[in-house]
């Protein structure tokens, strides 16, 4: 998955934002994108499907996973681990 594809997933899951969304790494998932627990769950499922990865439970603590950029760093890490398994 590319960062552009990831940003598209972010946009598609930011359903509570009515304006045109300019996704940046510093956007906060809850404060800026208004993700609730259902939005967050769908977002995680969409990312896992698109990237071909599985997150660890420790990766998914919403309070710990605060920004779009932080999530991207975890995705890149998981994609690297998946590539190492091949």
The tens-digit pLDDT sequence of the chain (86 residues) is: 999 999 999 999 998 887 788 999 999 998 999 998 899 889 999 999 999 998 877 767 655 668 999 999 989 988 887 655 54
Element containing residue 18 per DSSP (H, E): none
Residue 28's DSSP bridge partners are: 67
Expressed as residue numbers, the domain containing 7 is: 3-85
Query: What per-residue confidence (pLDDT) applies to 15?
Result: 87
Which CATH number belongs to the domain containing residue 56 in this structure?
Answer: 1.10.1200.10
* 3-state SS, residue 67: strand
Q: How many CB atoms lie within 10 A of CB 10?
A: 22
- Enter the pTM of the model: 0.84
Query: What per-residue confidence (pLDDT) applies to 65?
Result: 67
What are the φ/ψ torsions at residue 36 (nearest 5 degrees)?
-100, -175
Q: Report whether 67 contacts 25 (CB < 8 A).
A: yes
Domain count, the chain: 1
Q: Identify the CA nearest to 19 among candidates 38, 35, 32, 30.
A: 32
């Amino acid at each position: 998955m590319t960062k552009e594809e990831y940003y598209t997933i972010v946009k598609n899951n930011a359903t509570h934002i009515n304006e045109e969304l300019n996704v940046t790494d510093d956007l906060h998932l809850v404060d800026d994108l208004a993700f609730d627990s259902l939005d967050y769950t769908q977002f995680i499922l969409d990312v896992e499907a698109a990237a071909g990865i599985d997150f660890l439970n420790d990766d998914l603590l919403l309070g710990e996973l605060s920004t779009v950029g932080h999530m991207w760093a975890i995705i890149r890490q998981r994609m690297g681990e998946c590539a190492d398994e091949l």
